[in-house]
Amino acid sequence: MKIEVNTHEKNMIRFAAEHPEVLVLSADLGSSCEVKKFRAVYPDRYLTMGIAEQNMCSWAAGLAREGYRPFLHTFAVFLYRRILDQLEMSVAYPNLPVVFVGFVPGITTPGGVTHQSINDVGVLRTVPNMTIFDVGDATEIEGVLDLAWACNGPVFIRMLRKEVPRLFPADEPMQFNRARVLSEGDDILILSSSICTEEAMRATQVLKEHGLSIQHMHVSTLKPFTDPAILEALRKTRHGVITIENQYEIGGLFSAVSEMIAENGIGCRLKRIALPGYPHGASKMYLMKKYGIDAMHLVQAVEALTGRSLGITEADLAEERFVDFLEV
Amino acid sequence: MESKKYTKSDTQDIANQIRKQILGIAIKTGGCYLAQACSSAEIIAALYTQVLHLGPSVGEWEAIPFPGVPGPDNMDYQRGSAYHGLPDPDKDRFFVSCCHYASVIYCALAAVGRISPSALEKFNVDGWNMEMIGAEHSPGFENTAGSLGLTVSIAAGTAHARKMKGESGLVYCLMGDGELQEGQTWECVQAAGYYHLDNFIMVVDVNGQQVEGAIEDQMAEEPLADRFQAFGAACVSCDGHDIDAIIEACRAEHVGKPLVVLCKTKGYTGIPPLEKKWPFLHFVRISEAEKPEYQKIYDEM
């Protein structure tokens, strides 16, 4: 498993070279959001907006009205929780092409609860006109800006930074509103997003060795959520579906899947693996284990749905570890 | 219309006409944002006839049904800004942050021939674009301004974009003084100062009133001019009922800085009985018993 470093940093510069209308706006966290080099390369296209996110958001709306494409860079939590009114009335209502590049989503920061965006997907799924992307690896970081561009409207990206694994082939870019099929099977459907996909890939390998047929799909578009392949997978799963996500248990992937099941009258069991409430400040691996959004908890959910005890241990899963995420 | 030159006397006539029309609405409906019309009539009349450089309206002459919410399938709806003309590089833009003033804007547009006077009959009528509080589609509105503090930043972002593009037109933003309590306003002013937005002019109707009464009884706002200057703007004050003073203030020198024009006004100007209601003038209600008194003023206007 290859680990890529600062993928967004390179990609943002590549992307801006292709689109002269692109501007980067920062709220003093540009160097923590991989746009420090962008500032050096394109000083005139890097607008420092100070530690003032509300103004940055509405200001971006003004820039977008004049044909620019603003990409707002700061931590995800400051791009929805702090500025929801500005986001909705300045950008989402008029359907302006402003891209919110939200870093350190969920528990990918040791910064504690003020820095951890645990309900961004839940909150923003309720915002009309908004598109939400949740990237899972380096290949998706490389592809997400082009998708955001094509949306030509408000987009929120849950962006990963620094060392990120390349889980998917570099020549198979992320597709809009299409889940990525990582394993095909019909006993259990696993739908995963963000950093939980790597966990699910580890669990899936071990589960397969225990004779289970697993359909594993990685979801990177959370709004809209109308992928017909997911609907089909929900219809065919024998024992049910498990969602695993780096987000609060209400409003995110689990809720999107629940809505799809209910709306289509599908009679399948659904288990959620998600953050149970506000987290606290600690390392990512510690928090993933503590709040149960890891491979071991996924195995336990599979056992619960199938009624089979598989005898899989942490040690079995550790052998399948792709990368240690202790770096924060 | 573009070539029409208004005398100062014409401008005052338009201000009087705005005040009269909105008093008429208040008498007819039993209440409206009348005090805002009284405080801002000269400011808005001066802007439309003497200050703003706008192209001819490209909006529909009559009111239109609500054209729908913006979205991927509805981006070609008629914008309120159509009534300010095409967004040419040399033309000004006019943002209205104090969108409770919508009726004043509609009346002003009618008075300067940018919309049909009969469109005013659709004011606040269900299903039409002449809503009580303006949004993207309302005649004279660039954006959806009902949440205070947002529009000034949108206008400043527009000014920033136009400066980067090298356009010569200016960006004006009409504001109330109550929204100066919003933190975002000051975030915006500091950024507009930082980016030397000398193409950005904030015109404030300083009428000293907000929903719960006089501003001084709610929050410490003064000294406003000192605050704006400290945040990086040039700031001038004027009598907001004196057309000449408003024009002169809007033309004040502000090299390398945004300009703030503080127009000192009273919400009962031209309609003396309103003073009895001061400072509770945010939404003026006229009871049946009061109607004859106001009708008499209306008839004499």
Per-residue pLDDT in tens (0 to 9) along chain A, 328 residues:
789 999 999 999 999 999 999 999 999 999 999 999 999 999 999 999 999 999 999 999 999 999 999 999 999 999 999 999 999 999 999 999 999 999 999 999 999 999 999 999 999 999 999 999 999 999 999 999 999 999 999 999 999 999 999 999 999 999 999 999 999 999 999 999 999 999 999 999 999 999 999 999 999 999 999 999 999 999 999 999 999 999 999 999 999 999 999 999 999 999 999 999 999 999 999 999 999 999 999 999 999 999 999 999 998 988 665 554 433 3
* Stretch B210-238: mean pLDDT: 97
Residues whose CB falls within 8 Å of the CB of residue A281, separated by 6 or more in sequence, listed in order: A110, A111, A112, A113, A115
Average pLDDT score, chain B: 96
A58: distance to nearest CA of chain B, Å?
5
Chain A CB contacts of B157 under 8 Å are 58-63, 65
CA B38 to chain centre: 12
What residues in A contact B149, CB-CB < 8 Å?
A: 54
DSSP 8-state class, residue B103:
H
How far apart (Å, rounded) are the C-alpha atoms in residues A283 and B207?
Answer: 54
**Smallest CA–CA separation between A21 and chain B, in Å?**
11
Report all structural domains of chain B as residue ranges with CATH numbers, in order of start. Answer: 8-300 (3.40.50.970)
B149 at interface of A, judged by CB pairs closer than 8 A:
yes
Is the pLDDT at B202 greater than 50, yes or no?
yes
Q: Residue B144: its chain A contacts at CB < 8 A?
A: 89, 93-94
Point out which residues pair with A154 in neighbouring strands.
Answer: none
CB contact under 8 A, A65 and B162: no
Q: H or E segment at B12?
A: helix B8-29
Q: Do B157 and A65 touch (CB under 8 A)?
A: yes
What's the average model confidence in pLDDT over B99-124? 96
The average pLDDT across B103-109 equals 97
Query: Against a cut of 0.80, is the pTM above it?
Result: yes
Residue in chain B closest to A67 (alpha carbons) equals B161
Cβ atoms within 10 Å, residue B250 = 22
Are B160 and A63 inside 8 Å of each other by CB? yes
The pLDDT value given to residue A324: 45
Label each residue of chain A as H, E or C: CCEEECHHHHHHHHHHHHCCCEEEEECCCHHHCCCHHHHHHCHHHEEECCCCHHHHHHHHHHHHHCCCEEEEEEEHHHHCCCCHHHHHHHHHCCCCCCEEEEECECCCCCCCCCCCECCHHHHHCCCCCCEEEECCCHHHHHHHHHHHHHHCCCEEEEECCCEEECCCCCCCCCCCCCCEEEECCCCEEEEECCCHHHHHHHHHHHHHHCCCCEEEEECCEEECCCCHHHHHHHHHCCCEEEEEEEEECCCCHHHHHHHHHHHCCCCCCEEEEEECCCCCCCCHHHHHHHCCCCHHHHHHHHHHHHCCCCCCCHHHHHHCCCCCCCCC
Cross-chain residue pair B136–A93, CB shorter than 8 Å:
yes
Among the partner-chain residues B75, B157, B165, the one whose CB lies closest to the CB of A60 is B157
Contact A37, A13 (CB under 8 A): yes
Backbone Cα Rg of chain B? 18
For tokens 């008839």, what's the residue? B299
Model confidence pLDDT, tens digit, residues B231-255:
999 999 999 999 999 999 999 999 9
pLDDT at A323: 53
